[in-house]
């Protein structure tokens, strides 16, 4: 008898299986893949040619994001995440690394190796996830970014890994520090992974871990219903904002996080993106669009389209609204 813990990709519910046959496990995974493939085919067909848009998938906080629910493992969460991305035909997904987590939880390093074996690249998210505005000095922030490089470079041999995702999407509120950091990154060979769409998956991570540990499926279902309802609203608003700011639907860059909640809900999120018309492309292809090359005194701060609207003085009133994340601090306490 062997014990394997994993998240079933097609349903993404926490499972702990005792199996006596590798064939049994493979059969179940194959069945899940078939179901996911059928769902994918149906979702894609619902989008018209005019609805289609390019979208690059990016994933923050590898190899550890948030609390780890009992019975799960970071490599298991990572493999589940990868399986979903592959089932939806995602050709590239940059994973941005906080290397301090490897020192804190050495077993999580296997998640990075699984990411690379899947053919997905790794970039830098600063060693300790330090925001530029939060850093005691510019030098302290530069040191934190530099400290994150070794873990990435070691796994990206032969490929340029100099892609940075600003922690907290915080590229500095002080203009002088912002400019100095941007110049330092450019001299070091970095390009920036921007963000244009996010479903705030990070906000649900801790509550989900508590609810899984308590076995509160009712609370989990309620969270999932609210999360997916917000996902629909965010997709609608994203399209409306893009049309108002650029007069078209620009290529999008999706921000997600490598946590248990994100992995559990990713199949449903991807199905919604499929239905909305997403075509999955590499990050560089999405960011080759002129929208990502427009100069901004706040480049890298926050979400691209809202930042551009503020820079250009474009009002976003009257567009589809997104309900706030429901209070989660007391859920499953």
Residues in the chain: 333
Domain ranges of the chain: 2-312
Among 13-17, 89-93, 174-178, 288-292, the least confident range: 13-17
Q: How large is the average pLDDT for residues 238-250?
A: 98
pLDDT tens figures, 47-60: 788 899 999 999 99
- Has residue 180 got a pLDDT over 80? yes
Residue whose C-alpha is closest to residue 262's, from 87, 129, 85, 103: 85
Q: Which two tokens stand for residue 326?
A: 């429901």
Residue whose C-alpha is closest to residue 258's, from 3, 61, 39: 61
pLDDT tens figures, 31-40: 444 444 444 4
pLDDT tens figures, 259-309: 999 999 999 999 999 999 999 999 999 999 999 999 999 999 999 999 999
* Residues near 9 by beta carbon (within 8 Å), at least 6 away in sequence: 29, 32, 33, 36, 80, 83, 84, 87, 267
Q: At what angle do helices 260-276 and 217-246 cross, to 10 degrees?
A: 50
Rounded to 5°, the CA angle 263-279-64 comes to 25
How many CA atoms lie less than 13 Å away from 263 in the CB half-sphere?
A: 31
For the chain, what is the mean pLDDT?
A: 89
Rounded-to-10 torsion of CA 154, 60, 249, 52: 80
Distance from C-alpha of 302 to C-alpha of 168, rounded to nearest angstrom: 8
Cβ atoms of 201 and 228 within 8 Å: the answer is no
pLDDT tens figures, 193-241: 999 999 999 999 999 999 999 999 999 999 999 999 999 999 999 999 9
Omega cis (within 30) before 256: no
pTM of the model: 0.87
Burial of 3 (0-12, 13-18, 19+ CB in 10 A): exposed
The fold of 2-312 is: TIM Barrel (3.20.20)
Rounded-to-10 torsion of CA 231, 233, 234, 237: 160
Round the CA-based radius of gyration of the chain to a whole number and report it.
20
């Amino acid at each position: 008898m062997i014990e394997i813990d994993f998240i079933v990709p097609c349903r993404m519910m926490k499972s702990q299986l005792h199996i006596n046959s590798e064939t049994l496990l493979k059969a179940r995974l194959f069945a899940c893949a078939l179901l996911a493939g059928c769902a994918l085919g149906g979702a894609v067909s619902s989008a018209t040619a005019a609805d289609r848009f390019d979208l690059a998938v990016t994933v923050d906080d590898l190899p550890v994001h948030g609390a780890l629910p009992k019975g799960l493992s970071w490599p298991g969460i990572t493999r589940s995440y990868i399986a979903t991305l592959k089932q939806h035909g995602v050709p590239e997904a940059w994973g941005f690394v906080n290397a301090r987590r490897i020192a804190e939880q050495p077993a999580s390093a296997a998640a990075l190796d699984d990411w690379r074996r899947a053919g997905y690249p790794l970039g830098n998210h600063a060693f300790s996830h330090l925001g530029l505005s939060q850093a005691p000095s510019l030098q302290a922030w530069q040191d934190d970014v530099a400290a994150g490089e070794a873990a990435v470079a070691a796994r990206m041999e032969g490929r340029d890994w100099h892609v940075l995702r600003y922690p907290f999407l915080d590229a500095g509120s002080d203009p002088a520090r912002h400019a100095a950091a941007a110049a330092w990154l450019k001299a070091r060979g970095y390009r920036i992974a921007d963000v244009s769409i996010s479903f705030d998956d990070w906000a649900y991570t801790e509550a989900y871990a508590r609810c899984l540990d308590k076995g509160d499926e009712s609370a989990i279902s309620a969270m999932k219903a609210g999360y997916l309802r917000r996902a629909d609203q965010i997709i609608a608003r994203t399209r409306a904002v893009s049309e108002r700011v650029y007069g078209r639907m620009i290529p999008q860059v999706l921000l997600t996080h490598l946590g248990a909640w994100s992995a559990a809900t990713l199949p449903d999120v991807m199905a919604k993106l499929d239905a909305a018309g997403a075509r999955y492309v590499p990050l560089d292809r999405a960011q080759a669009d002129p929208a990502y090359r427009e100069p901004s005194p706040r480049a890298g701060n926050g979400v691209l389209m809202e930042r551009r609207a503020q820079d250009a003085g474009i009002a976003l009133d009257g567009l589809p609204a997104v309900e706030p994340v429901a209070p989660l601090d007391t859920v499953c306490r």
